[in-house]
Amino acid sequence: MTPTTETMVGIGGAAESTDMVLNIGPQHPSTHGVLRLKLVLDGERITHAEPVIGYMHRGAEKLFEARDYRQIIMLANRHDWLSAFSNELGVVLAVERMLGMEVPERAVWLRTLLAELNRVLNHLMFLGSYPLELGGITPIFYAFREREELQHVMEEVSGGRMHYMFNRVGGLKEDLPAGWTTRARAAVADVRSRMDRFDDLVLGNEIFRGRTRDVGTLAPEAVHAYGVSGPIGRASGVDFDLRRDEPYLAYGELGHVLKVVTRQEGDCLARFECLLEQTHNALDLADACLDRLAELPPGPVNQRLPKVLKAPEGHTYAWTENPLGINGYYLVSKGEKTPYRLKLRSASYNNIQVLTELLPGTLVADMVAILGSMFFVVGDIDK
């Protein structure tokens, strides 16, 4: 019988899997600014993800308490800098509800029009920047061209390019410049005529579809659990839109035009498709508002306010369907000229929390694709 020899070979740490903690951000291009993602990796696969927020916290909610009801519009304007008009709108609706104030009809339709133009501006930014994050540079140039068309008319009517400061308690700052509606209608038509480029350049690109289809699938149960809203929630089959389900402004009269865009897949591609189709519908809503404004007789666009504006004692909650999702203001008044408390519920804050469930199990290479498809603004997270 031949004798055998046993030899022990040491293979070190390679014999067992070792988790690695990877910090993405803050101040990293793939995190849209000052968001930090703390990832635990097993090889190339993410096993745990934790969004770490607060790096650009402005303390806006506390600042609300030291400003009167005219001044807080400036603070509310800025947390989602791509949706400034919609941010303003929510806070003035809350104050008007507290005051029991009726807004002139022209102001109602003008607010609806400008909110939809602002929605298009917001969506165009993500329609251009998301392909850029996946390596496609061309769409962002087209997106910025279309944005400029609409920025011109928004700047003409308000004087601002990003922070419009055009809403006022009781209506709007001032009436429209002469001939503005004609120029706005032409801008909407021009943008609509070129929107098919995003279908051709992006949705028609097999690389883009390969990077986004069946990637980052978000279940409807997670949407409900985390309070996810807007195009991200609707892309997972959650059919909810405040403009239809709890109408405000003139949306109750626009049911024949308003289309709530949904998908069932819940992946990155579905979120992009929802955003694109919703942009088309926002342009249709803008045209419908322009048609209605043409039928209205001349009239005021605001209410005359007292020199010192005080909301009666009480509390209210006003929420709106902002471009990125549900935006809500909980206002508490003690009868003074400043809010006693103003709590902000922003869309991005809830939407980004679902990354703790969305990222585990996916590859690091897909992390940027998933993160970009959440369509968030960091200022909307860090209030």
Question: What separation in angstroms does the CA of 84 have from each of 114, 137, 331, 357?
Answer: 11, 26, 19, 30
Q: What is the pLDDT of residue 28?
A: 62
Q: What is the pLDDT of residue 110?
A: 97
Pick out the chain residues at pLDDT < 50. Answer: 8-16
- Closest residue by Cα to residue 246 from 87, 75, 61, 93: 93
Instruction: Round to whole Å and give the CA distance between 127 and 372.
Output: 10
Rounded to the nearest 5°, which phi and psi values hold at 6?
Answer: -100, 135
Q: What is the pLDDT of residue 3?
A: 63
Instruction: Round to whole Å and give the CA distance between 335 and 311.
Output: 5
pTM (predicted TM-score): 0.91
Query: Strands, E, within the chain: which ranges?
Result: 20-24, 36-42, 45-52, 167-168, 171-172, 314-322, 325-333, 341-345
Instruction: Round to whole Å and give the CA distance between 170 and 99.
Output: 10
Q: What is the pLDDT of residue 1?
A: 56
Tokens 């800025």 correspond to 78
How many Cβ atoms sit within 10 Å of the Cβ of residue 333? 23
Instruction: Round to whole Å and give the CA distance between 224 and 240.
Output: 11
Q: What is the pLDDT of residue 20?
A: 87
Instruction: Round to whole Å and give the CA distance between 355 and 360.
Output: 8
Q: What is the pLDDT of residue 8?
A: 46
